A and B are shown apart, each in its own frame.
Chain A
Amino acid sequence: MTDTMEAPARRAAVEDEGASPRRFRLPHLSHRRGDLIAALFFVAPATLGLAVFLVWPTLRGIYFSFTDYNVFTPAQWVGLDNYVRMVQDPEFWHSMWVTVQYVLVNIGVQTVLAVLLAVLMHRLTRSVFVRSVMLTPFLVSNVVVGLVWLWILDYQLGIGNKFLEWIGIGRVFFWGDDKLVIPTLALITVWKFLGYTALLIFAGLQTIPEQLYEAGRLDGASEGRMFRSITLPLLRPYLAMVVILSIIGSFQVFDLVSVTTGGGPVNASQVIQMEIYKAAFGRFEFGYASAMSVALMLVLLVITFLQYRLSRAGSSDLA
């Protein structure tokens, strides 16, 4: 590693020596044409990657959405056909609705619990150990998370159902009940992301000056009162950011659903990304899948735009 890093550096050093005499100012302080060539060299890999694997596919994906395309034969331009079909397709709307339900349950529960956890980590113990433990689920893949909970919540053999039986609630058909499957998936997501979200909020909490709490304590304010009057108002901009980041992430849910229910029972957990995947790789309707992808992207872009607005508002709020 050191060798490969040093070799070009040494060569460039030699070249640089030959090409230009020593200067006593940094290039960026004195405009000169020589920088352009060096700069092109430095940005080339990332820019090429951006162009080929991000910009070009984005444009192409939009193009595909106006075509009939099955990958094996060239795409046929069909104008707005895919979009017309999409708005009339009950399956598309169903999957959007299922995704929204998943997002709402996930974000609602996750935010409340994460604020609670962050406040506990802030007011009770600043232990790195506790924060690390809470972050652990965030580090393993959605696939692993899905399979473990598939097992824990198994109707016959799962320890989770055994526990529910033991405390008197009785077994719950988590994976087979079309009313329960989306909340189940959402709560598993909460389990995975709780520690991470709490850490983001914790970082926000750390920006609140300690003196405010000291002053509050001197005035005899309770923890609850201080939470309502100091913590929550000052945390608001951070909270808004965290919520929006989580919303964007959870709209794209796929892995967890794919390894647990596969969209079932029937299509009760058919989230939008699952619908797109099945259209493309199950029915080879890449054009139609692209149209649904564009719809999802538009939803995400609107939310990203909101986030952008909020993050600017947030920073000026705290300044």
Chain B
Amino acid sequence: MATLTTPAPEAQVKDVRRRRRPSLGKIAGWAVLISLIVVTIFPFYWMLRTALSTNAALFTDTSSLGPVGFSWEGFRRALGLATVEESLADGGSGASLNLVQNLINSVIVATTVTVVQTLASAMAAYAFTRLQWRGRDTLFKIFIVGLMVPLIFTLIPNFVLMRELGLIDTLAGIALPTLFISPFAVFFLRQFFMGISVEIEEAAQIDGAGRLRRMFQVILPQAAPALITLAIITYIAAWNDYLWPLMVSNSESSRVLTVALGVFRSQATDGTMDWAGLMAATLIAALPMLLLFLVFAKRIVNNIGFNGIK
């Protein structure tokens, strides 16, 4: 058997060399990849490590890799559970942070925007793909042009509009500009709806299903993957938005998490930064997105590409 299957000596040598040569490159490749992964993850770990430390210990021990002077006080301060005296004693600025309220505000804004915007976009996409009406292509072209306007340009005029509507410092004012419209979402869903076959919808129509029913019970279930992906992207964007809520809100009642973090940071002058409290707060702000990602990672990762998710 050995004589039959063993290749000629020269061939064997060649084979070994060929296998060994890329393996060196492979080691280098893995080294680069692993260092990139470490650099990517480390700040998240550092957030946690700092949040679980006390400010006093952070000043004296800057390089221990684990939490120093282990304590939950950072989280208690961030959630507004600590009194001002406790906060000052622990090296906090004494500034109050009421992340629970901010968290609720963020959830309300992000959820409302995601649900309404996805629904409105799906309806529009349905009309653009499945209904035949005069002006359809013209209106769609206007949507495409809308896609080209940088959202940042609309902020100042939209602020003026919210002021005129008396919606400054309200959650409604924060949600409204993106509530019904994302040209991108309409465009993205339209592309997806175009790929759904007409036959099933035709069968549903023969069974007497009206347009709304056809959209909800025939098209949307088939478009579920695209809808979920879009909803996740919308939720993340709404959750992380900073400049617009910063413009609109000017009191605790309408403050979302990102703005609250910015305010908390600016309350401290550089020498007296409450790092433990601040890192606890950033962790609380980031956690919902990280959990969302944990659940949907595979879907998100596989959906990022040139099919239009941006």
Contact = CB atoms under 8 A, between A and B. Distances in A.
Nearest to A308: B148
B76 interface: no
A300 interface: yes
B176 interface: yes
Contact of A162 (B63, B176, B181): B63
B81 interface: no
Contacts, number: 317
B142 A9 contact: no
A9 B298 contact: no
Interface in A58-91: 58, 60-61, 64, 71
Residue in A60, A143, A301 whose Cβ sees the most chain B Cβ within 10 Å: A143
Given A13-B212, A157-B62, A53 B181 contact: yes
Contacts of A108: none
A152 interface: yes
Contact of B261 (A48, A60, A144, A294): A144
B42 to A, nearest CB: 8
Residue in A12, A71, A152, A222 whose Cβ sees the most chain B Cβ within 10 Å: A12
Given A135-B301, A258-B242, A301-B148, A290 B183 contact: no
Contacts of B272: none
A124 B177 contact: no
Given A13-B212, A200-B305, A259-B261, A58 B153 contact: yes
Contact of A134 (B37, B44, B209, B305): B37
Contact of A39 (B41, B119, B127, B239): B127
A199 interface: yes
Interface string A133-155: 11111011111100111111000
A142 to B, nearest CB: 6
A313 interface: no
A273 to B, nearest CB: 7
Nearest to A133: B37
Contacts of A32: 132
A266 to B, nearest CB: 15
B163 A71 contact: yes
B237 to A, nearest CB: 10
Contact of B304 (A42, A200, A273): A200
B120 A53 contact: no
Given A9-B217, A13-B212, A139-B236, A50 B306 contact: no
Given A12-B210, A28-B130, A149 B43 contact: yes
Interface stretch (B4-12, B27-35, B82-90): B27-35
Contact of A43 (B25, B40, B124, B285): B124
A197 to B, nearest CB: 10
Contacts of B130: 26-28
Residue in B43, B58, B202 whose Cβ sees the most chain A Cβ within 10 Å: B43
Interface in A158-174: 158-159, 162, 166
B157 interface: yes
Interface in B34-69: 36-37, 39-41, 43-44, 46-47, 50, 58-59, 62-63
B208 interface: yes
Nearest to A175: B270
B100 interface: no
Contacts of A61: 153-154, 156-157
B154 A57 contact: yes
Chain A: interface size category: 35 or more
Contacts of A60: 157, 160-161
Contacts of B216: 5-6, 9
B14 to A, nearest CB: 10
Contact of A128 (B58, B133, B181, B297): B297
Contact of A144 (B62, B116, B201, B285): B285
Contact of A46 (B36, B37, B181): B181
Contacts of A142: 240, 242
A241 B177 CA distance: 28
Interface in A266-301: 273, 276-277, 280-281, 286, 289-290, 293-294, 296-297, 300-301
A28 B202 CA distance: 11
A3 B77 CA distance: 41
A128 B213 contact: no
Contacts of A64: 156-157, 160
Residue in A52, A57, A166, A280 whose Cβ sees the most chain B Cβ within 10 Å: A57
Given A123-B29, A147-B278, A58 B157 contact: yes
Given A13-B210, A137-B40, A156-B62, 13 more contacts: A17-B210, A25-B202, A27-B131, A28-B132, A53-B158, A55-B146, A141-B241, A143-B242, A151-B279, A166-B63, A199-B305, A248-B150, A296-B153
Interface of A: 5-6, 8-10, 12-17, 22-29, 31-32, 35-36, 38-40, 42-43, 45-50, 52-58, 60-61, 64, 71, 113, 116-117, 120-121, 123-125, 128, 130-137, 139-144, 147-152, 156-159, 162, 166, 191, 194-196, 199-200, 203-204, 206, 222-223, 238, 241, 245, 248, 252, 254-255, 258-259, 262, 273, 276-277, 280-281, 286, 289-290, 293-294, 296-297, 300-301, 304
26 contacts: A9-B213, A12-B213, A13-B213, A16-B208, A53-B154, A53-B177, A61-B156, A64-B160, A124-B26, A128-B297, A128-B301, A137-B43, A141-B240, A141-B242, A141-B258, A142-B240, A143-B240, A144-B285, A148-B47, A222-B21, A259-B262, A273-B152, A273-B243, A290-B157, A293-B153, A294-B153
Top 7 nearest A-B pairs by Cβ distance?
A49-B180, A49-B181, A16-B210, A203-B305, A141-B240, A57-B157, A42-B127
